[in-house]
A = this chain, B = another copy of it.
Amino acid sequence: MSEKEPIPPKIYRRTSLKELAAHLGLSQTTVSRVVNQSPGYLRIAPDTRDRVLAAAAKLNYQANVLAQGLRSKRSQIVSVIVPEISDGYSTSVLSGIEDSLLLGGYFYFVVSHRHRPDLLRDYPSLLLSRAVEGLIAVDTSIDEELPIPVVSVSGHSRHGSIVNIELDHTLAAHQALEHLKKLGHSRIAFIKGQSFSSDTQTRWRAIIRVAGELGIEILPKLTVQLEENGIGVEPGRVATMKLLERNEPFTAIFAFNDHSAMGAIVALREAGRDVPNDVSVVGFDDIPSAATNNPGLTTVRQPLQEMGRVAASTLLQMLRSPEEHQRRSILVLPTFVERNSTALAAAVRKTRTPTLIRSGQ
């Protein structure tokens, strides 16, 4: 007895509805109605209600959600499919998704497909056999019609009933290109996204349109695309090396995302070019490491967490009232974040006073 008293184990013995009903001398039906406040709840005698509630609290009754799901056809589970879970983009979205789902009493399975065709093909049925009620696809295009509601974050699905949560890419392109234009850049290089990324096409079209409006030329020789292979900043580094080999002068790069912007900075540094003094670099997304990068990344922020929250609450809404007319797409707005990876173009710098140079964030 000289040892520390063991903490008395919390009672995790689960009471079933049957036991609770027996304990109260009531039918399961009545008990079920009370604890779930189901239709008919109001017609139950107030003191019966109180007795049930008291006993449920005392015996720590918690419904078996599996059984509820089987019977009522609502598993209270949805699934989120992402390209790769250990990636800043997906997890910011997941964080927002979790916020909304928790409020709605839903749990979620995460699966990552890693661009593997077998997983992309098999996951939908695997998830359906788990009775998930809905699916959120993050940066993943779903090209089959599923028997459950699907919300896509940056997925650009044009299929059936899928609701897309998407960024206003036109505004995003405008913010980035106008920023570079103001700084005096006219020879701007572009790093396009990997072909597997569902944002690649949409964003590129917006860039072309906006560049036209702003009178910015897009030169094929200053355009490279990220390769499918490679992780982290590597694809951006490789793409930028390719760009440098072409010997076509440029003073700025607009990268597809922050990862590739960081890779671009690495490649430029290796080639002896200073960022931002020789070359300005603009990223996209504003993942957490964009701020701590050196130099801090000027970037177009996607409200990833908010996109997750909106995706989840939209999905819950669809589950609650399937019949209601649902918008096909919901637009969210980017925010432009100026840090230290962009500066006045060298040509312009000479003609202006140093105080005009942004001091950064």
Contacts and interface: CB of A to CB of B under 8 A. Distances in A.
A86 B91 contact: yes
Contacts of A294: 265, 293-295
B66 A125 contact: no
A302 to B, nearest CB: 13
Copies in the complex: 2
Given A108-B110, A293-B294, A125 B85 contact: no
Contact of A98 (B85, B91, B265): B85
Interface residues of A, number: 58
A146 interface: yes
Interface stretch (A127-135, A167-175, A316-324): A127-135
A228 interface: no
Interface in A139-159: 143-147
A130 B107 contact: yes
A292 interface: yes
Contacts of A112: 95, 98
Interface of A: 7, 9-10, 12-14, 60, 62-67, 69-70, 75, 84-88, 91-92, 94-95, 98, 102, 107-112, 124-125, 128-131, 143-147, 232-233, 262-263, 265-266, 288-289, 291-295, 305
Nearest to A231: B288
B131 A64 contact: yes
Given A91-B87, A95-B86, A293-B294, A130 B65 contact: yes
A207 B142 CA distance: 50
